């Protein structure tokens, strides 16, 4: 039976909460922190301990997991927790922040702390079921049993390699959703029956993007899509991705869509 490490989980958003719940259900002593403390209430009711600050969350932790929104949020959390980490701590960074942020984080943590680069593929439904695709860069020794509670691991290489691949994959998926929405806009303009066009696209090489464009019961906010595509377009010249980014920026400017699932943005792109 694997050891039950003391885990600190920081970031209880749409993805972080079901992930933390799986670790708690597996029997790990779990301390949690979230910028909005009220979001931790369900986990506290199930046995987690709420920390007053990021530093308090990690001071006794053997494993730290961060799942925050963007590089700025990760940087702010790191400012507080790096001085409080114990030597030998393993830090699993699971946010989508890009390879530069992860490598900088590893350097800041120092040689006494092992940073594992482990962003995830999949939405809230897979997080709850423990069926995420976990891209893992760096040395995962000692945290395999923790990652296994959350999904299936694909090793990608050194630190930062997983964060880089995550941007590649997200750019393709998010861009594909925008392309599907545009294709359906074209179908509407040409008088093609919408259901017929959707079925034909679903049976084409774009089938996965069609599924995501119409997904229900999942959540990946439009503002997060903007963040991911922005990171990607800063790394390389990507005209098609930049065009998709423009779509999502316009959708995210609507307060009703910024935190809404990507599928809502796809519907806006189709009719804009």
Residue holding tokens 């699932």? 261
Percent of the chain with pLDDT over 90: 98
What is the per-residue DSSP string for 102-164?
A: HHHHHHHH-TTSEEEE--EES-HHHHHHT-EEEEEES--TTTHHHHHTTEEEEEEESTTHHHH
Taking residue 202's Cβ as centre, other Cβ atoms within 10 Å add up to 16
pLDDT in tens, 164-206: 999 999 999 999 999 999 999 999 999 999 999 999 999 999 9
Q: To which CATH superfamily is domain 7-158 assigned? A: NAD(P)-binding Rossmann-like Domain (3.40.50.720)
CA–CA gap between residue 176 and residue 68 (Å, rounded) = 24
The reported pLDDT for the residue numbered 1 is 45
pLDDT in tens, 211-257: 999 999 999 999 999 999 999 999 999 999 999 999 999 999 999 99
Which one, of 34, 15, 10, lies nearest residue 134 by Cα?
15
Confidence of residue 4 (pLDDT cuts 50, 70, 90): confident
Q: What are the domain boundaries of the chain?
A: 7-158, 164-271
pLDDT in tens, 114-128: 999 999 999 999 999
Mean pLDDT score of the chain: 96
Q: What is the mean pLDDT of residues 82-100?
A: 97
**Mean pLDDT computed over 43-70:** 97
Rg (CA), the chain: 19
Q: How confident is the model at residue 3 (pLDDT cuts 50, 70, 90)?
A: low
Q: What is the pLDDT of residue 272?
A: 86
pTM equals: 0.94
What is the arithmetic mean of pLDDT over 31-37? 96
Q: 164-271 in CATH: which number?
A: 1.10.1040.10
């Amino acid at each position: 039976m694997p050891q039950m490490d003391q885990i600190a989980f920081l970031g209880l958003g749409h993805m972080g909460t079901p992930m933390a719940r799986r670790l708690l259900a597996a029997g790990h002593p779990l301390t949690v922190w979230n910028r909005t403390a009220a979001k931790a209430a369900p986990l506290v009711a199930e046995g987690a301990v709420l920390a007053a600050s990021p530093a308090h969350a990690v001071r006794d932790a053997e494993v730290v997991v961060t799942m925050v929104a963007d590089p700025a949020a990760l940087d702010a959390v790191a400012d507080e927790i790096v001085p409080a980490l114990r030597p030998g701590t393993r830090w699993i960074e699971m946010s989508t922040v890009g390879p530069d942020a992860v490598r900088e984080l590893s350097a800041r943590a120092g040689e006494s702390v092992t940073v594992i680069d482990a962003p995830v593929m999949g939405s809230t439904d897979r997080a709850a079921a423990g069926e995420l695709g976990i891209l893992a860069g760096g040395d995962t020794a000692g945290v395999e049993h923790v990652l296994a509670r959350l999904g299936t691991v694909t090793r990608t290489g050194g630190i930062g390699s997983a964060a880089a691949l995550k941007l590649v994959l997200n750019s393709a998926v998010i861009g594909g959703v925008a392309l599907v929405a545009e294709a359906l806009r074209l179908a509407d303009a040409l008088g093609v029956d919408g259901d017929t066009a959707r079925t034909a696209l679903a049976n084409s090489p774009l089938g996965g993007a069609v599924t995501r464009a119409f997904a229900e019961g999942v959540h990946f906010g439009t503002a997060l899509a903007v963040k991911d595509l922005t990171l990607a377009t800063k790394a390389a010249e990507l005209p098609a991705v930049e065009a998709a980014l423009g779509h999502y920026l316009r959708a995210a400017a609507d307060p009703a869509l910024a935190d809404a699932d990507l599928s809502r943005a796809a519907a806006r792109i189709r009719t804009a």
